[in-house]
Amino acid sequence: MIKMNFEKVYSTDRKAENCCIGLPLPKGKLYDISKVAVRNSEKNIVPSTSRVTGCWDDGSVKWLFTRFEADIPGNMGAEYYMDTDSDKAYVFENGIVFENNVIDNGEIKLCLAVGENKIFDYIEYRGVKYGSLIGIPKLTDKKGNVYGTVTDGWEVLEKNSLCCLIRGMGAHTLKGERVFSFEINICIFRNKSAFELGYRIINDTDDTLDVESLVIESSKKTAGKARAVAAYSNYRTSFDINEEGGEAYKYVDANTLLYESNEHNSEVFYGTFFGDYTDEEMGLCACVYQAQQNFPKAVAVRDTNARIMLVPKDMGSVEIFSGMAREQKVLFYLHDPNEDIQSINNKTLIYQMPDKPEISPDVFKSSGVFTDVFVNNKNYDIEMYIGAKADEHARAYGMMYWGDSPDMGYTNQGRGKGKLVWSNNEYDFPHACALQYARTGTRRFLDYVLVNARHWIDVDVCHYSSDPLILGGQYEHTWDHVGAKNIVCSHEWVEGLLDYYHLSGDIDGLNIAIGIGENILRLLETPMFRRAGEANARETGWAMRSLTALYTETNDEKWLEKCDWIVGHFKEWEERYGLWLSPYTDNTAIRVVFMISVAVGSLMRYYRVRKNDDIKRMILKAVDDLCDNARLDNGLFYYKELPSLKRLGNNPLILEALSIAYELTGDKKYIEYGMPTFKYVLSFKPAGVTYAKRIAENSLVQGNMGTKSFAQMMVPVTVFYKNAAELGLL
């Protein structure tokens, strides 16, 4: 039995609340998921379904994604248990049915449309069919073009007794021509009169789409007197209510956020934002997910219709550059006409911050799915430092910015040509947060993963290009996220996307990670990588890290074939210079400590899946050389090996290289050599929010630190800290 804990959150009872969890399992523990069941604290089996998202090389389950229904009492937590060796499973008397493009969840029916300018042929609620209740998003650009739509068809992403996740694919049209593609993602649970609609636009043209407005219209012939409600919350919800046929209206833009305070970690929660109209027959609520974070947004409700403005007209600019995508989500809730507005508000608040079960860090540690960052003898000063480093990242609000942050170091260097340089999740911030979530069980670190990975999937990856060296790749930090159009091996990561996939169940995480891997393989075929020594360790090292991660994810040997080639490259490089030296000026080849450390870390990841004495030799030779020749008199490692660059190095990557040497030899000298650097790194206290909120370009930025700092230090600092604690050096 694996205990799953719900912390106390809401003051109201939740009955049959739809919950999910990504569960890591040790190799050899589970082969047959028919033995999986979820039990409550009384040991009764509750409704659940499970699927495998990852396997070990022996075929056993590595990651299990489970959905289940939980009863959570108000003002209390709750305990549930994952039973991986159950003698029986829950028997569903009723579940979701999907036939002939109709989803029937027991409360509502959704008839999915194919063709022009609609999502649904009808929506049925309490035996009544509504033909035009919810329309397809209507797109208008800054040139005044109004686009039509055509939906080509639907595919099932997930179908079980508890949940149905369907994806529709189509395109916006202009003058009869297909232009910008879109996806419609519908998620619905059994016995609920609500569903989530995700709309994702993909700019698969060579032009920038400058959005003037993007609106979902809901209309209904009113049965009697109707009530119109628009709602916005910051701490408490503010309602605009009109029962006389007039309009209820709420909006959020950059100035809204600039002039209001909010103390939440906004990846977890900011507030709610919805419109609702109710007549004598039924009510319909539309709640925009993380509307404040993804501004601009507005809702306008009258007695016969509602307009959900994913991009309101004349409220700032939303530019979707070539190759970009972006998804926005709305919860539609059909309800009894007598339901109290506070009850509706409560449901939307829970949608914004759902109950999520937590598992002990020991479960992650014993599973072996992650790098061993689990410290037994904790030093709470160091623990607070690591947590604060994760928290200190700047938040960038705005539809195309949420889930990323500007890097002010690069910006101040002028790399943005006068504009902000966006981090584009450099050094894999989601993976660092997934590790921190695994080692602490703290909810907000999981939400950091979910928000930043989703931005990465949409905005920071090229979804369209005629250049195969760009297509599918992850953009290097740049202005406008894609401004320099630079995709290089040293800035393409996949581990955080794979973590996101397992923790959320979202198949896009896996597919985008594989696409990045394919891009890396194409880049490695280019001429710059054909001559040893011409490509530095940072390029091929990061490539190997991502390819090895894809191998451990898929068990597909194709990812290791290029790794074998990279190992050969490192051998040739060592032979040419005697060491891993980097050509720098026209007449120098120097030690660059952080580049060599990247190479060591990447080779070690490969070594763990393909043990090879020559790799071990190269790693130890490189680390020993740094210990002997790259340390200053004060014990710190220098930055680069030139008189003009031999300043104090504060890059923590050397700590991982030293920890690897310790892992391979058991010689504690490597940890002792690293202690001055470890203490020096810890002396740079997290800055917190050092800049006031400010409107920058089309975003609103809070804070100053990019995500790079935590992403870069998480593994090196934590594995070194673990080793130092075990050796009694702290």
| pLDDT for residue 534 | 54
Answer yes or no: is 544 within a domain.
Answer: no
In DSSP notation, 57-114 reads TTS-EEEEEEEEEEEE-TTS-EEEEEESS-S--PPPSS--EEETTEEE-SSEEEEE--
Exposed (0-12), middle (13-18) or buried (19+): which is 153, by Cβ within 10 Å? exposed
Answer yes or no: is 91 within a domain.
Answer: no
Answer yes or no: is 571 within a domain.
Answer: yes
Residue 648 shares a structural domain with residue 631: yes
Answer yes or no: is 691 within a domain.
Answer: no
Tell me the CA distances in angstroms from 659 to 373, 483, 656, 728, one per residue in order: 12, 37, 5, 15
- Token pair belonging to 7: 């912390």
Residue 580 DSSP label: -
Q: What percent of the chain has pLDDT over 90?
A: 88
Mean pLDDT along residues 16-39: 97
Residue with the bigger pLDDT between 550 and 649: it is 550
Structurally, the chain folds into a number of domains equal to: 4
pLDDT of residue 532 exceeding 70, the answer is no
| pLDDT for residue 470 | 97
Name the average pLDDT for the chain.
Answer: 95
| pLDDT for residue 661 | 98
pLDDT in tens, 144-193: 999 999 999 999 999 999 999 999 999 999 999 999 999 999 999 999 99
Ramachandran region of residue 635, left (φ > 0), alpha (ψ -120 to 50) or beta? left
Mean pLDDT along residues 655-681: 97
Residue 364 shares a structural domain with residue 343: no
**Cis-peptide into 296, omega within 30 deg:** yes
Mean pLDDT along residues 25-30: 97
> Residue 152 is inside which H or E element, if any?
strand 146-159
Residue 583 shares a structural domain with residue 623: yes
- Token pair belonging to 565: 């080639």
Answer yes or no: is 528 within a domain.
Answer: no
Answer yes or no: is 547 within a domain.
Answer: no
Task: Name the pLDDT band for 533 (thresholds 50, 70, 90).
Answer: low
Task: Name the pLDDT band for 537 (thresholds 50, 70, 90).
Answer: low
Where residue 180 sits, what CATH number does that domain have? 2.70.98.30
pLDDT of residue 536 exceeding 90, the answer is no
pLDDT in tens, 348-384: 999 999 999 999 999 999 999 999 999 999 999 999 9
pLDDT of residue 324 exceeding 90, the answer is yes
- Tell how far CA 224 is from the center of its chain: 45
Alpha-carbon span 141 to 152, nearest angstrom: 23
Task: Name the pLDDT band for 689 (thresholds 50, 70, 90).
Answer: low
Q: Tell me the residue range of the domain where 483 lies.
A: 360-523+696-730
Cα four-point dihedral sign 528, 533, 538, 542 = positive
Residue 641 shares a structural domain with residue 670: yes
| pLDDT for residue 204 | 97
Residue at a domain's end among 352, 385, 410: 352
Alpha-carbon span 164 to 502, nearest angstrom: 18
Residue 310 shares a structural domain with residue 386: no
Which residues of 430-556 form beta strands (DSSP E)?
A: 478-479
Residue 269 shares a structural domain with residue 309: yes
Residue with the bigger pLDDT between 7 and 226: it is 7
Task: Name the pLDDT band for 118 (thresholds 50, 70, 90).
Answer: very high
pLDDT in tens, 368-425: 999 999 999 999 999 999 999 999 999 999 999 999 999 999 999 999 999 999 999 9
Q: What percent of the chain has pLDDT over 70?
A: 98
Residue 269 shares a structural domain with residue 290: yes
Alpha-carbon span 339 to 278, nearest angstrom: 9
pLDDT in tens, 571-600: 888 888 899 998 889 999 999 999 899 999
Answer yes or no: is 92 within a domain.
Answer: no
Residue 612 shares a structural domain with residue 498: no
Residue 499 shares a structural domain with residue 622: no
Residue 674 shares a structural domain with residue 720: no
Alpha-carbon span 484 to 476, nearest angstrom: 8
pLDDT in tens, 250-261: 999 999 999 999
Alpha-carbon span 428 to 492, nearest angstrom: 8
Task: Name the pLDDT band for 213 (thresholds 50, 70, 90).
Answer: very high
Answer yes or no: is 619 within a domain.
Answer: yes
Mean pLDDT along residues 79-104: 94
Mean pLDDT along residues 278-285: 94
Residue at a domain's end among 302, 330, 352: 352
Exposed (0-12), middle (13-18) or buried (19+): which is 21, by Cβ within 10 Å? buried
When computed from its CA atoms, the radius of gyration of the chain, rounded to whole angstroms, is 27
Scanning 583-612, the segments in alpha helix (DSSP H) are: 593-609
pTM of the model: 0.97
Alpha-carbon span 233 to 236, nearest angstrom: 5
| Cβ pair 618, 604 in contact under 8 A | no
Mean pLDDT along residues 557-565: 91
| pLDDT for residue 12 | 96
Mean pLDDT along residues 505-520: 98
Alpha-carbon span 10 to 349, nearest angstrom: 10
Residue 66 shares a structural domain with residue 136: no
Mean pLDDT along residues 117-132: 95
Residue 212 shares a structural domain with residue 124: yes
Where residue 23 sits, what CATH number does that domain have? 2.60.40.1180
pLDDT in tens, 43-79: 799 999 999 999 999 999 999 999 999 999 999 999 9
Residue at a domain's end among 83, 117, 152: 83
| Cβ pair 232, 273 in contact under 8 A | yes
- Tell how far CA 520 is from the center of its chain: 21
Alpha-carbon span 332 to 348, nearest angstrom: 10
* Cβ neighbours of residue 2 closer than 8 Å, sequence gap 6 or more: 23, 81, 82, 84, 359, 363
Cα four-point dihedral sign 453, 456, 459, 463 = negative
* Cβ neighbours of residue 348 closer than 8 Å, sequence gap 6 or more: 231, 272, 274, 285, 287, 331, 333
